[in-house]
């Protein structure tokens, strides 16, 4: 469901059973900034005429918003996805195609930089300095070229680093903190979401393989 700024709504359930919901609130000024980046010509905020919206981009953005991360790159990717989805839902925006220009050289610099930052959270201003692109244009172009957002690209590098450390039988809490996660619980949740098993289980499964390699060397 889409509610516009200052739009009056009662918040009551449509049935006696009631309902529960989670809400994503984005400042209109942030959406406007993204739209000015996405559009070659000035464009107003999209207006969605039907309150109930069926849109894959908006749905994916909202789902990712509740994964539990508040990292800057994740938030910016979320806002870009929301802006694109809302523009698709506004008929007045559909006749203006989204730009497909990609600065390959700048994006390669961004990817190389992220490859070296496996143990911490990267902030948008760092990538802006490396690429010369604005944070929202970078998020858009990076997804076109790499098929994912800068946040998820970096997340996978950090999780790959964590897997290497787990194979060395290191304590989970040490691995979590060294890979740049706030705590072990958050690390475990992201690890299981990505690989389908917990870090503890992964370490157990890697144990026999490591033992066999050691025996073969002996």
Report CA torsion sign: 202, 205, 208, 213: negative
Give the Cα separation of 45 and 25 in Å (integer): 15
* Location of structure tokens 């787990």: 166
Contact (Cβ atoms closer than 8 angstroms) between residue 180 and residue 156:
no
Give the Cα separation of 127 and 119 in Å (integer): 16
**Sequential pLDDT tens for the chain (218 residues):** 777 776 776 667 777 887 777 778 888 888 888 887 777 666 677 877 777 778 888 888 888 788 767 788 888 888 888 888 888 888 777 655 656 678 899 999 999 999 999 898 899 999 999 999 988 889 888 988 888 889 989 999 999 999 999 988 889 999 999 999 988 998 999 999 889 899 999 988 876 555 445 444 44
Give the Cα separation of 133 and 128 in Å (integer): 5
User: How many Cβ atoms from other residues are within 10 Å of residue 46's Cβ?
Assistant: 22
Contact (Cβ atoms closer than 8 angstroms) between residue 149 and residue 186:
no
The token pair that represents 141 in the structure block: 């172009």
Give the Cα separation of 107 and 91 in Å (integer): 31
């Amino acid at each position: 469901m889409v509610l516009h700024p200052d739009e009056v709504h009662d918040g009551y359930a449509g049935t006696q059973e009631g309902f529960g919901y989670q809400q994503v609130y984005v400042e209109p000024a942030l959406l406007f900034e993204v739209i000015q980046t996405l559009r070659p010509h000035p464009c107003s905020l999209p207006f969605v005429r039907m309150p109930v919206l069926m849109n894959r981009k908006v749905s994916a953005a909202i789902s990712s918003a509740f994964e539990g991360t508040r990292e800057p790159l994740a938030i910016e990717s979320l806002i870009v996805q929301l802006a694109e989805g809302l523009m698709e839902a506004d008929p007045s925006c559909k006749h203006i195609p989204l730009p497909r220009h990609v600065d390959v050289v700048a994006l390669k610099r961004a990817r190389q930089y992220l490859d070296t930052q496996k143990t911490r959270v990267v902030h948008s201003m760092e990538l802006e300095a490396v690429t010369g692109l604005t944070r929202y244009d970078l998020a858009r172009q990076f997804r076109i070229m790499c098929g994912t957002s800068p946040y998820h690209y970096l997340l996978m590098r950090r999780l790959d680093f964590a897997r290497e450390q787990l194979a060395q039988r290191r304590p989970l809490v040490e691995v979590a903190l060294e890979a740049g996660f706030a705590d072990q619980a958050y690390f475990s949740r992201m690890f299981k979401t990505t690989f389908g098993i917990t870090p503890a289980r992964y370490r157990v499964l890697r144990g026999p393989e490591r033992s066999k390699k050691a025996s073969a060397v002996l």
